[in-house]
Amino acid sequence: MVFGTAGHIDHGKTTLVRALTGRDTDRLPEEKRRGISIDLGFAPLTLPSGRPAAFVDVPGHERFIRNMVAGVHGMDAVLLVVAATEGVMPQTVEHVAILDFLGVTDGLVVLTKADLVDPEWLELVASDTRATLADSFLGAAPLLTVGTPTGRGVPEVLSELDRLGSAVRPRDAGGVLRLPIDRVFSVRGFGTVVTGTLTRGSLRTEEVVELAPGGPRARVRGLESHGEALNIAVAGQRVAVNLSGVDRGAVVRGQVLTHPGQLEPVTVAALQLTLLADAPALKHRARVHTYVGTAEALARVYFWDREALAPGTQAWAELRWEEPMVLQRGDRVLARTYSPVVTVGGGVVAEVGVHHRRREPNLLVRLDQQLAGDPLALLAERLAAREAPLPLDQAARQLDAPAEDLPRVFAGRADITLLAERWVWSPAAARRVADRVRAVVTAYHREHPLRAGWPRERQKQEFPEWDARLFGQWVAALDGLELEGDVLRRTGFQVELTEAQAAWRAEIGDAVRRRGLEPPELAWVLARVAAPENTVRDVVQWMVAQGELVRLGDQLLVDGGVYADAVQAVAAAIAREGPLGTAVLRDVLGTTRKYAVPLLERMDEARVTRREGDVRVLVQS
């Protein structure tokens, strides 16, 4: 169990924690000097039943809200502290809103300094506090009174904490390791130490871990929980982790300790965003401070169905962060305005790492289903609608599971399949896309009967979401199709010239051959043949593929036999005389520089020659 405090500054949170645990959570010299909490404080607690627990004491001053928020993510239950001398104050209300947005659902209310007021005033403050909290998650929570100098009410608070501890559901010790870091320091002789509440998974000594986002890997040298050495820490514990192989300066609050490769940083997420009733309207593209776990980062809010979110309302939104964030489906996000910085709302993440267009069909309906439904069924539905497989890491983020576990998760399912161990897809979508590929290839053969098949560049245009290598592997295995190099064609397809095309072929070949080593441009060839331009282009391309013509650059065409003779002449000259410059080789070829340069560049491309400075040498075979 991890309990936390909340409430206005100087209402006695730290004093109450000290009365309950015997520990002073104010550790900074400035906290001692000023008598207020500035950063998070921590203390162990053994409940009356013997159950171990811990306290996170948060600062109450409005200037330190970011520190307060960093402590909320690890709380199983909260003690909302209200001073009987003052009653509910601004930070009381803001802290409750923050706790609500960040998913804290259990707690109790404690009226401190009860020994400083008379019974009538105490009853008035209690009544006002209950009225303020009536619509919050603490509306039905127990309300206790304490007077810490005398110890009045402390045993009752401990008893109530014990009751809360027995009722709170344990955290998931089997999920992806996630330890949001709330404190970093160095210990002489040991090195870097990080602390935090282990919210998911488990951690063992000697394991290799990763600091995400952007941090290095390290080895777990040691584990402690409130001074007790551990071999393994599990979700729900406050943990100090001694890291080996990482400098203190490379770690900051807000990073997450996890196993390598399990939490991929993202810069975009879809969430259901709720605005406080007394907050200002939040405009489309507004810049906001956001808080996830112990991390804080700036983001912009994009709405798909409106230009602004009105106070007290809820809508789907996309957050786009200015720096990478580590978060998962179901995470809670707090939003505060950019300036002045005030809490305005929060939401629950439904999807991470996927950017959506504003007018994407059925997006909001699908996000509603994703937030409320079975993630595996929703993934299968998403895959069935896709034209391409989904990267395995994206599927893992949607399911909030390690990528290496997905083969086991998908085992036995007929609606999800793995491709090349790095991609996941729907068999139904695969059949649909396979039929479409066959139709596209057939249409291409019909439109371009003289071409060997559907080329790679057209494949990329038609299916831009596919990884090119995976697409080649996949289509090569489809019945009725074959892949040769980068060209996809129907199985057994061969180019056959019609009588007219054969005549054009002869005409083109004769015209280009007569030009010798003063090769014409493609436009010159097209203009000489009395046939549709596209058809002539296809005949030229077929002749190039057969080696009857050779392209020089983008436009020039030379007869294949003439080009072969030119290659022999250049090779013989260099072999006889050694490296030769362009001017000499121009004379060897018996043409002008205008044509010699593209001819020699084509020989360079074919690795017959190689240019070294101002001369060319033969490439050794």
pLDDT per residue as tens digits for the range 509-535:
999 999 999 999 988 988 888 888 888
In contact, 592 and 518? CB cutoff 8 Å: yes
Domain boundaries 501-621, corresponding CATH code: 1.10.10.10
Nearest to 551 by CA among 481, 495, 599: 599
10 Å Cβ neighbour count for 421? 10
pLDDT for res 529: 84
Packed helices 392-399 and 375-385: angle between N→C axes, nearest 10 degrees = 150
| pLDDT tens digits, one per residue of 194-233 | 999 898 888 999 999 999 998 889 999 999 987 789 999 9
Pick the CATH number of 266-367 from 2.30.130.10, 2.40.30.10, 3.30.410.10, 3.30.465.10: 2.40.30.10
In contact, 433 and 387? CB cutoff 8 Å: yes
Helix/strand/coil percent split, the chain, to 5 = 35, 30, 35
Residue 131 pLDDT grade (very low, low, confident, very high; cuts 50, 70, 90):
very high
Taking the CA atoms of the chain, what radius of gyration do you get in angstroms? 36
Q: Which residue has the higher pLDDT, 455 or 257?
A: 257
Share of the chain above pLDDT 70, in %: 97
- Name the β-bridge partners of 195: 183, 240
In contact, 226 and 143? CB cutoff 8 Å: no
pLDDT for res 616: 93
**Strand (E) positions, 313-379?**
314-325, 332-337, 343-352
Q: Which helix (H) or strand (E) holds 474?
A: helix 468-476
Q: What is the dihedral of CA 109, 68, 251, 43, to 10 degrees?
A: -30
**Euclidean distance between CA atoms 511 and 519, whole angstroms:** 10
Residue 386 pLDDT grade (very low, low, confident, very high; cuts 50, 70, 90):
confident
DSSP 519: P
Nearest to 74 by CA among 199, 158, 170: 199
Residue 81 pLDDT grade (very low, low, confident, very high; cuts 50, 70, 90):
very high
Q: What are 436-445's contacts with CB under 8 Å, separation 24+?
A: 437/475, 437/478, 437/481, 437/488, 438/478, 438/480, 438/481, 441/481, 441/488, 441/489, 441/490, 442/490, 445/489, 445/490, 445/493
Instruction: Could you please state the CATH topology (level 3) that the domain comprising 179-258 is classified under.
Output: Elongation Factor Tu (Ef-tu); domain 3 (2.40.30)
pLDDT for res 33: 67
Residue 486 pLDDT grade (very low, low, confident, very high; cuts 50, 70, 90):
confident
- Chain region(s) in the chain for CATH 1.10.10.10: 501-621
SS3 category, 52: strand
Residue 472 pLDDT grade (very low, low, confident, very high; cuts 50, 70, 90):
confident
**Euclidean distance between CA atoms 408 and 426, whole angstroms:** 16
- Name the β-bridge partners of 202: 234
């831009």: which residue's tokens? Answer: 464
Q: Which two tokens stand for residue 588?
A: 């060897």
Residue 35 pLDDT grade (very low, low, confident, very high; cuts 50, 70, 90):
low
- Chain region(s) in the chain for CATH 2.40.30.10: 179-258, 266-367
**Euclidean distance between CA atoms 148 and 19, whole angstroms:** 7
**Euclidean distance between CA atoms 445 and 443, whole angstroms:** 5
590: left (phi over 0), alpha (psi -120 to 50) or beta: left
Stretch 269-281: mean pLDDT, rounded? 93
Q: Which amino acid is at 195?
A: T
In contact, 94 and 345? CB cutoff 8 Å: no
pLDDT for res 368: 81
Packed helices 582-589 and 593-605: angle between N→C axes, nearest 10 degrees = 100
DSSP 152: B
**Euclidean distance between CA atoms 232 and 252, whole angstroms:** 23
How far is the CA of 395 from the CAs of 265, 320, 379, 381, 418, in angstroms? 14, 20, 7, 12, 11
- Name the β-bridge partners of 292: 295
Q: Which two tokens stand for residue 455?
A: 């080329």
Pairing between strand 481-484 and 487-490? antiparallel
Q: Which residue has the higher pLDDT, 354 or 612?
A: 612
Q: Which two tokens stand for residue 127?
A: 């009544």
Stretch 594-613: mean pLDDT, rounded? 92
Work out the burial of residue 360: count CB atoms within 10 Å of its CB; fewer than 13 is exposed, 13-18 middle, 19 or more buried: exposed
Work out the burial of residue 170: count CB atoms within 10 Å of its CB; fewer than 13 is exposed, 13-18 middle, 19 or more buried: exposed
pLDDT for res 312: 93
Pick the CATH number of 2-167 from 3.40.50.150, 3.40.50.300, 3.40.50.720, 3.20.20.150: 3.40.50.300
10 Å Cβ neighbour count for 155? 12
**Euclidean distance between CA atoms 230 and 221, whole angstroms:** 11
- Chain region(s) in the chain for CATH 3.40.50.300: 2-167
**Per the omega criterion (within 30 degrees of 0), is the bond before 375 cis?**
no
How far is the CA of 416 from the CAs of 27, 166, 294, 410, 413, in angstroms? 53, 40, 35, 6, 6
Stretch 378-391: mean pLDDT, rounded? 85
Mean pLDDT, the chain, integer: 88
Q: Which residue has the higher pLDDT, 554 or 209?
A: 209
